[in-house]
Amino acid sequence: MDHGKGIASESSAAVREHKKWTTDMDFRLLNAMIDEASMGNRIDGSWTTQGYTNIVKSLHQSGLVGITKNNVKNRQKSLKDKWREIHDLFSGLSGFAWNPTTKIFEAEDEVWDMLIKAKPSAAKWRVNPIRHYKLMEDL
């Protein structure tokens, strides 16, 4: 089982550790977050102290013993940024359909070509699956 690798990087103030997250780790994190949100531990888009504590505890119980509150906060920010990019890109666009099997937004080649011409950064989503899209959407 992959528990993510810690990678140390030096900064002027201290050594910081960056956690390498896997798809499975993201799945566990998102499910723990959804559980906590359903219990009322997310208020106005922010986690309560108890919510963070419970998320970390849930991850530890699932075998991810090295995860800290800061790891959770940092990964949440990364996932939120990714979600915002995807949502802003595809929200309200006609011609695209979400395929839950391939985990890719699908469209006719002409539709993709027009989008990529207007927004070149969209090209990566034509071929790269968006893992856990529905879980991120639920949050």
DSSP 31-76: HHHHHHHHTT-EETTEE-HHHHHHHHHHHHHTT-TT--HHHHHHHH
Q: Do residues 67 and 11 touch, judged by C-beta distance below 8 A?
A: no
- Model confidence at 139, pLDDT cuts 50, 70, 90, reads confident
pLDDT(118) > 90: yes
Q: What range does the domain containing 127 cover?
A: 22-138
Q: Is the pLDDT of residue 83 over 60?
A: yes
The single-letter DSSP state of residue 120 is G
Asked whether residue 14 is domain-assigned, the answer is no
Residue 95 lies inside a defined structural domain of this protein: yes
Return d(Cα 4, Cα 78) in angstroms, integer: 16
| Rounded mean pLDDT, 2-30 | 69
Paired tokens of 30: 């998102």
Residue 12 has a pLDDT of: 42
pLDDT-wise least confident of 7-21, 35-49, 74-88, 119-133: 7-21
The whole-angstrom separation of Cα 18 and Cα 7 is: 5
Tell whether 66 is covered by a domain: yes
In a domain, 35, yes or no: yes
User: Is residue 2 domain-resident?
Assistant: no
In a domain, 85, yes or no: yes
pLDDT tier, 2 (very low <50, low <70, confident <90, very high otherwise): very low
Asked if residue 114 belongs to a domain, the reply is yes
Contact residues for 111 (Cβ-Cβ < 8 A; gap 6+): 95, 96
* Domain count for the chain: 1
- Quote the pLDDT of residue 4: 56
